[in-house]
Amino acid sequence: MCLPGEWLSSVTPDASPNFTESFLTPLAEQLRPVQLCDFLGQRHLLDVGGALAPEVQEPFSMLLFGPPGTGKTTLGRLLARKWLATFQAVSAVESGVKELRQAGEAGRARRPAATLLFVDEIHRFSRNQQDVLLPYLEDGSLFLVGATTENPGFTLTSALLSRIRVLLLTPLSVGDLLTLLNRAEAHFESNSHRSVQWDTGVRDFALVSADGDARKLLNNFEGAISVAQPGLSDLRIDRTLWEQVMGKRVPHFDRGGDIYYDTLSAFHKSLRGSSPDATLYWFIRFTESGGDPRVLARRMVRAASEDIGNADPAALGFALHASEAFERLGEPEGLLALAQAAIYLAATEKSNAVYHAFSQAQKQVRDMESWPVPLHLRNAPTPFARSMGHGRGYRYSHDEPMAYSPGQTYFPEGIPAMSFYEPTLRGYERRLHERLKRLRELDKEYDKEGNIKSVTE
């Protein structure tokens, strides 16, 4: 059972009128809870029925997968306390095979007492380093709690994943962050004998700007109170001061990481789903986070063929022109051209008929033998080629009505004609649908020489 004030860590600095001088330990560390019931967020794991619910009394190996500032390290410490296990922490950035073996052997010597090994940034371990952990996990010498912000399916070996449970941590809600900020203010006021006054709306902005990251919120708060009118009984925090301390707000982002590709995916799917507003939102999220706008330009060129196709043939040129405009102008001026194209592509008619046709044709060609080119379709640039029958029987379409040679075949001889492209009734593709339907009807009426078939045929 948690007692009032238990969420405070064991760090208890002397009261002082100057808060920052007396706190050499970061505020995030001072406020680290010492009871699971005071841990903020992750209720899907900690409440009844969750993987880490109160009724779960036996330790197990796990991977805590989630964005920064969601409490992975704190949770590891609290679980060790709950399970009466020795807590040992290593960082994948600083530790290697030697340190892991030492931890494993120390855990083996403590048995039957449990040892919980917390590995931060575990995705940085090589395959060999991950394999070192396996025998210690197998015999119970170590219970692993790995922490990562990267997709474990891409970064951890199958052997290690088969021995641990992957638990997803989510960003803290605004409500959780509010509780944390209240704790931070109470902690500050009790130790400095000064209160914090917020200008209207600034406190709400502080919570939202933290993006679910508890550490970011506490670091910004600590920075704000260190420069907010020192010497006064009340400290005033206004919007300008908070923004100065916070710096440029950059959403969670890691080039090459999950959030990077998830943002790209959201952009493309919003465009495909004909939502120009959401498309623009993810466009800004990507570029404001430091993503290369050229990546968005390439996505738009792809989408112009994959998701729009011949429903709006102008879309491909629009995307290419926007990409060229960005190359000429650079940032920030060129971003507007890309945004213009993104909005247009999102708003215009959609068809994946070209993409579907390409995929089907590609599969068929790869699965079939390479049939020879029919003689009437072969190139005949020389008398020798013509003597071999190249081009014989070919009908030049422009010499016939509708610039079409009904009945003439274009697939290899010996295989039936195949149908890949089926235009939709959206946008310009409706015209293509009607034209191709008429041409196919003509093919049924004529033979390959261009003669009308008899009724008996």
Q: What is the pLDDT of residues 25-75, one digit of tens each?
A: 888 889 999 889 899 999 999 999 999 999 999 999 999 998 889 999 999
Per-residue pLDDT, 78: 95
pLDDT band at 12 (very low <50, low <70, confident <90, very high): very low
The vertex-355 CA angle with 354 and 357, nearest 5°, equals: 65
Residue pair 123/161 in contact (Cβ under 8 Å)? The answer is no
Percentage of the chain beyond pLDDT 70 is 90
Domains 42-168 and 258-347 alike in fold: no
Domain ranges of the chain: 42-168, 174-246, 258-347, 380-445
| Sign of the four-CA dihedral 117, 120, 122, 124 | negative
Q: Does 383 have pLDDT greater than 50?
A: yes
- How does the average pLDDT of the chain come out, rounded? 88
Tell the CATH topology of 258-347: Zinc Finger, Delta Prime; domain 3 (1.20.272)
Per-residue model confidence (pLDDT) at position 232: 57
Q: pTM for the complete prediction?
A: 0.65
CATH class, domain 174-246, is: mainly alpha
Of 384, 305, 299, 309, which Cα lies nearest the Cα of 342? 299
Question: Residue 8's pLDDT is what?
Answer: 52
* Cα–Cα distance for residue pair 103/156, rounded to 1 Å: 20
> Where is pLDDT greater, at 343 or 11?
343
pLDDT at 233 over 80: no
Kindly tell me the sign of the dihedral angle through the C-alpha atoms of 133, 138, 141, 143.
positive
CATH placement of domain 42-168: 3.40.50.300
In terms of C-beta density within 10 A (0-12 exposed, 13-18 middle, 19 or more buried), how is residue 98 classed?
Answer: exposed
At 454 the pLDDT is 64
pLDDT tens profile 140-185: 999 999 999 888 888 899 999 999 999 999 999 999 999 999 999 9
Write down the residue that tokens 């997968």 correspond to: 65
